[in-house]
């Protein structure tokens, strides 16, 4: 009887763990690194340390961008190396301990800033695109207002994800234009 109960618990534990998402594992088509996150302008997610914030940012952004990169650049890998981040909104700890981890967005909050180097490589490791990017958006709240009433709008990195998605989409359009120019030249 004891063996049967132990096996039942073991099977239940296995099934429970099998259904949980794996945290800390980035998708294969996205790589995110940080250069001294402790020196970033404003990089505290829910008032956590910059290193814990880097883990959260990396996990959430890579999971969000992975299907977008797969659609725009099949069988390719996008590597992002962040050199500075200024998250949307500001922490206002003076509101008390219940709101100390909430980011407030006001008209005078300042822009959302994402500074990074990027490399886009194909499945053989051949470089498709690379460069340095400085995404600075003063009007991020109004620009992405259409999404704010969705369940995604309550996401803690809502604006950062949409800003990066917009950039990936523009990179895809740029690569498409370059590809069509190269094709026309070859003819």
Q: What pLDDT, on the 0 to 100 scale, is given for residue 67?
A: 96
Q: What is the dihedral of CA 164, 167, 172, 177, to 10 degrees?
A: 180
Detail the DSSP E strand segments found in 18-111.
Answer: 30-34, 77-86, 90-91, 103-104
Evaluate whether 47 touches 101 at the Cβ level (below 8 Å): yes
Evaluate whether 30 touches 78 at the Cβ level (below 8 Å): yes
**Tally: H helices and E strands in the chain:** 4, 6
For the chain, 187 residues long, give each residue's pLDDT as a single digit of tens: 554 444 444 343 343 333 333 345 568 999 999 999 999 988 888 778 899 999 999 999 999 999 999 999 999 999 999 999 988 765 555 554 555 555 556 566 667 889 999 999 999 999 999 999 999 877 656 655 555 544 444 577 888 898 999 999 999 998 877 664 444 444 4
For the chain, give every domain's residue range: 28-186
Question: Which among 120, 103, 121 is positioned nearest to 112, based on CA atoms?
Answer: 103
Q: What pLDDT, on the 0 to 100 scale, is given for residue 175?
A: 84
Residues in contact with 20: Cβ distance below 8 Å, sequence separation at least 6, in sequence order: none
The tokens for 160 are: 């950062």
Q: Distance between CA 171 and CA 99 in Å, rounded?
A: 37
Residues in contact with 33: Cβ distance below 8 Å, sequence separation at least 6, in sequence order: 79, 80, 81, 82
Detail the DSSP E strand segments found in the chain.
Answer: 30-34, 77-86, 90-91, 103-104, 112-121, 127-137
């Amino acid at each position: 009887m004891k063996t049967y109960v132990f096996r039942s618990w073991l099977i239940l534990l296995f099934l429970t763990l099998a259904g949980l998402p794996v945290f800390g594992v980035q998708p294969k088509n996205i790589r995110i690194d940080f250069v001294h996150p402790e020196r970033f302008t404003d990089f505290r997610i829910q008032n956590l340390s910059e290193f814990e914030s880097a883990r959260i940012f990396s996990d959430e952004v890579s999971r969000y961008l992975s299907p977008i990169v797969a659609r725009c650049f099949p069988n390719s890998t996008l590597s992002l190396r962040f050199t500075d981040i200024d998250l949307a909104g500001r922490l206002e700890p003076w509101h008390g301990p219940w709101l100390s981890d909430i980011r407030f967005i006001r008209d005078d909050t300042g822009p959302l800033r994402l500074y990074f180097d990027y490399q886009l490589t194909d499945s053989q490791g051949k470089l498709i695109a690379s460069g340095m990017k400085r995404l600075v958006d003063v009007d991020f709240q109004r620009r992405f207002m259409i999404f704010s009433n969705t369940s995604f709008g309550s996401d803690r990195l809502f604006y950062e994800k949409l800003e990066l998605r917009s950039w990936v989409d523009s990179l895809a359009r740029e690569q498409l234009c370059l590809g069509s120019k190269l094709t026309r030249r070859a003819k």
